[in-house]
A and B are shown apart, each in its own frame.
Chain A
């Protein structure tokens, strides 16, 4: 069974640009969550999508947005990039139904560097 696939693995952008990251969940998983990992702030929840609808949202500015397609693939977009957006962005998928004790399966992440 293929795991969670994130593309691209590495990205270099400059301040003010925008970027789109992609995540393909495990087949059959309908929930996709995004996390930002930085040395200073650790792992922080960005948002979760389930059946093409945003179900949960973390405390990030509106420059961070996402969407989910009918095949459960998800994209996140960051506009007007700032130096502080440099991070590893992780995507996780799960079945999404039932209660919250289902494990989430993570991809290897996209490393975003802002110059």
Chain B
């Protein structure tokens, strides 16, 4: 079945450091890929998405490129802030399965000032 694997956390960075959170997937067909972020006590917010190979999603300084050849969708940000501290989830939605999202385990990011 479809699955998403994320790097384990927590990831602890100093402010203005470079961020990479790895995400790889296994899926049949051509899934759409998403990054969601969850702040304490809240639900998930969509951070960015990509719907086909080589698409780059970007938002609030975060970027991720859909790499079909390596089945990856790594999240990057050039300079993190304390306010970026949260849990980040990689997810896929396979065509033909409506709105069912398959999530990775989540990666906790802690940014120190």
- List residues of chain A with CB under 8 Å of any chain B CB: 4, 6, 31, 33, 35, 42-45, 48, 50, 55-56, 58, 90, 92, 94, 96, 99-109
Contact = CB atoms under 8 A, between A and B. Distances in A.
Given A31-B98, A56-B97, A103-B34, A42 B103 contact: yes
Contacts of B46: 103-105
B100 A106 contact: no
| Chain A interface, >50% SS class | strand
Interface residues on B, range: 20 to 34
B99 A43 contact: no
Nearest to A6: B43
B103 A99 contact: no
Interface stretch (B14-22, B75-83, B87-95): B87-95
B101 A45 contact: yes
A33 B43 contact: no
Given A106-B43, A106-B44, A108-B42, A101 B97 contact: no
Given A31-B99, A100-B93, 5 more contacts: A45-B102, A99-B32, A99-B95, A103-B46, A108-B43
